[in-house]
Amino acid sequence: MGGFGGDRRERLARALDEADVVVIGAGAGLSTAAGLTYAGPRFEAIFGDFIERYRFADMYSGDFHPFGSFEERWAYWSRYIWCNRYVKAPGTAYDDLLSLVGDKDYFVLTTNVDHQFQLVGFDRRRLFYTQGDYGLLQCSQPCHKRTYDNEPPVRDMIEAQGWQISASGALTLPAGTRPAMDVPAELVPHCPVCGRPMAMNLQSDDTFVEDEGWHAAAARYQDFLRRHQRGRVLYLELGVGWNTPVIVKFPFWQAVEKNPRATYACVNLGEAVAPSAIERRSVLVDADIASALRALLAS
């Protein structure tokens, strides 16, 4: 492990300080570093009944499980959506990142769908969620290109199962009770146009809806890149793996190669690499993202 002391820390701190513009590319590793874990105590506290019934090892195990009814499926998904979209991550990685770049001209490109950037106060007009949003529903067909805010119906489904929602969004159960594992049929979301079941607005196949908001964010991001093709730009990649490198990683490398005044920084435990063409203008940090961001704040 390369760690984050000495030269690397100084170089990244200097790159942040000297940059006029910061383009942030964020992947799942950033949310993991912030404490949005999909297994362990957090998972067990909310999905204990589903673990007992289906032996799920983590939240992902239920993503494509063939539940016996829509009522049961939405009991699972409403909990999944709530704890990963409407509750702020327990760690400080996102808060620390905002403290580091908040006074800069920045834009965020992310494959994450949990909206943690918005929850800690990043400017929503400087965010492009390329892969969708846990907080949106769409027609499963889809019969039209519109998405729908799901917070009210998801809240209703959560409460119908017996959960109580605290002011912070945390889910609790009254003492001695077990949650229901299905929701009332009338709460199952259906498309207001064709009546088919609704689905999550997530980029998993060719049914993904790119609505007006998605296209507006894409246009703002492309305009931001166009206006900052030159100059002192820091392309800061955080927790991006190799599942979809064409969205963040490869475009960042290409942009730095084209702009001799740009710097590429990658903070990712076990996966911090750069091509030889930009190696001298890269800062590669093989370290825990949360620890690295906190160290930068202390610099």
Kindly state the percentage of the chain with pLDDT values over 70: 99
pLDDT at 64: 87
pLDDT tens, position by position, 286-299: 999 999 999 999 98
DSSP run (H or E) holding 163:
none
Long-range contact list for 132-135, CB < 8 A, 24+ apart? 132/200, 132/201, 132/202, 132/203, 132/208, 133/85, 133/201, 133/202, 134/80, 134/81, 134/84, 134/85, 134/200, 134/202, 135/81, 135/85, 135/86
CATH number for the domain running over 1-36+89-130+210-299: 3.40.50.1220
pLDDT tens, position by position, 227-241: 999 999 999 999 999
> Using CA atoms, how far apart are residues 261 and 67, in angstroms rounded to an integer?
53
Domain locations in the chain as residue ranges = 1-36+89-130+210-299
pLDDT at 244: 87
Is residue 26 classed as helix, strand or coil in its secondary structure?
A: strand
pLDDT at 6: 79
Q: pLDDT averaged over consecutive 10-residue blocks of the chain (299 residues)?
A: 73 96 98 97 97 97 94 98 97 98 97 97 98 98 98 98 97 96 98 97 95 98 96 97 94 98 96 96 96 93
pLDDT at 273: 94
pLDDT at 1: 40
